[in-house]
Amino acid sequence: MKELETLDIAFLKRYDTPGPRYTSYPTAPAFSPDFGPEAFKRAILKNNQENPEGDISLYFHIPFCDTLCYFCGCTMLVTRDLGKIEHYLEALKAELALVRRLLSDKKKVCQLHLGGGTPSYLSPDQIRRLMEAIHQRFQFTPDAELGVEIDPRGLTREHMEAFAETGFNRVSMGIQDFNEEVQRAVNRIQPLSITKQAIDWSRELGFNSINVDLIYGLPFQKPETFEDTLKKVIELAPDRIAVFNFAYVPWLKPHQRVIPKESLPSLDTKFALLKLAIETLSKAGYVYIGMDHFAKPGDELAVAQTKGDLHRNFQGYSTKAHADLYAFGMSSISQFGNVYAQNEKNISGYESMVLDGKLATIVGYTLNRDDEIRRFTIMRLMCTMNLDKQEIERRFGIAFDTYFAEALDKLAPFEKEGLIELRDDRIVVHPLGRLIVRNVAMCFDAYLERLLKEKPVFSRTV
């Protein structure tokens, strides 16, 4: 990306502001407790009538970890109590049975994802038993995508064999940074050797897509040490690479307070790390999808973006735009039709509800027409980087420039800086604009101003 060779750090600073990642719209802080189990049940039954044979995507949240990574922003629990894990798995199976009874028998699974926490913290036997319960209740499409997040620390070949035997074909693992000083500072010691071993096992066992995660903005990171991490990652040759901004949100995740603020890179250094990552990975042949994601040119994400088929949901970028998402486990969020439904975040509360035969929905949201128009617009913008106004006009029966007059006014400064192009028929996000596409999308958000005033709920956009 030649545009980045003259990237001014001051440019990034201007756009470094709190903002959503837009894995949903409206975003999760707008969800309401008025949407509970009965509302979720009604939404499922309505969706059955409107879309009885549609494909579905399943997400299962496995919250357990062996140790606490200080940077973590996930809903997770550190435990070595095997009984607690077994009890949770029983609750998952109970929720699975509850939801399956409500769903149309004609629906098939085209995508499944185990997230966490650390799904590979389950034993091989637990992996097999959980997947057996899922396969007993659902039919899968022949080309179904099954992905799992693993932690190379503590991973055995037996774990990977259990995942492979039960249908998984995609794997994702965190690296964050290979530098030992950084690893010690965030309480995640993960040598290159065990990461390479996990990748080698994945390839030997036939996983057809490997993703690794990096984070910039962690304590003690420097361009010269992060460059070494990037070189090692390129040698590992994963199919996809995510480079996330460290979401330092101690008001939401109190454990992050153990990271001294003075140990974090300065803004100039953090932005230099981002620039380095994009330049290095682009030169190595990875396609910059947008936001945090890179993929090899032949990867499904890159192909889907070229075709205009890329989608975005609570797991990030996806190629399964047509699939309704049903999520299981504490804190997980389902998304289909015009609703979002989130489960109880507390593990004991979640287990109590589902083991008592009740859906675990604790908050949710039903989109109105304006929400649907804005959601479609934001998602198309973030996924294609080339928003076709006429597509939205045809889909919703609106005059785009009139309906979004206020948003277009907000976008004018982005065009003046050469980040986007406001054409008569479309909005084009230029390569530099992809760095701050969250900021561009925020111009279409009808709730953002209110949410930002209420309390700090979002990470920084750059």
Which domains are assigned to the chain?
23-366 (3.80.30.20), 369-454 (1.10.10.920)
Identify the band that residue 7 occupies on the pLDDT scale cut at 50, 70 and 90. Answer: low
pLDDT at position 146: 97
CA 310 – CA 387 distance, rounded (Å): 13
pLDDT at position 404: 98
pLDDT digits over 69-127, tens only? Answer: 999 988 899 998 989 999 999 999 999 999 999 999 999 999 999 999 999 999 999 99
Q: What is the dihedral of CA 252, 254, 255, 260, to 10 degrees?
A: 100
DSSP SS3 for 132: helix
Q: List strand residue ranges (DSSP E) for 267-377, in order.
A: 287-290, 293-295, 311-313, 316-318, 324-328, 333-336, 339-343, 361-366
CA 220 – CA 281 distance, rounded (Å): 22
Q: What are the residues whose beta carbons fall under 8 Å from the beta carbon of 333, sequence distance 6 or more?
A: 24, 28, 314, 325, 327, 340, 341, 342, 343
CA 230 – CA 277 distance, rounded (Å): 7
Q: Kind of pairing, strands 64-65 and 77-78? A: parallel
pLDDT digits over 336-378, tens only? Answer: 999 999 999 999 999 999 999 999 999 999 999 999 999 999 9
Helices (H), 2-146: 9-14, 37-50, 82-102, 124-137
Token code pair at residue 288: 């910059």
DSSP SS3 for 194: helix
pLDDT at position 8: 64
Token code pair at residue 415: 């065009």
What is the number of H-type helices and E-type strands within the chain? 18, 19
Amino acid at 223: P
Amino acid at 288: Y
Mean pLDDT computed over 401-409: 97
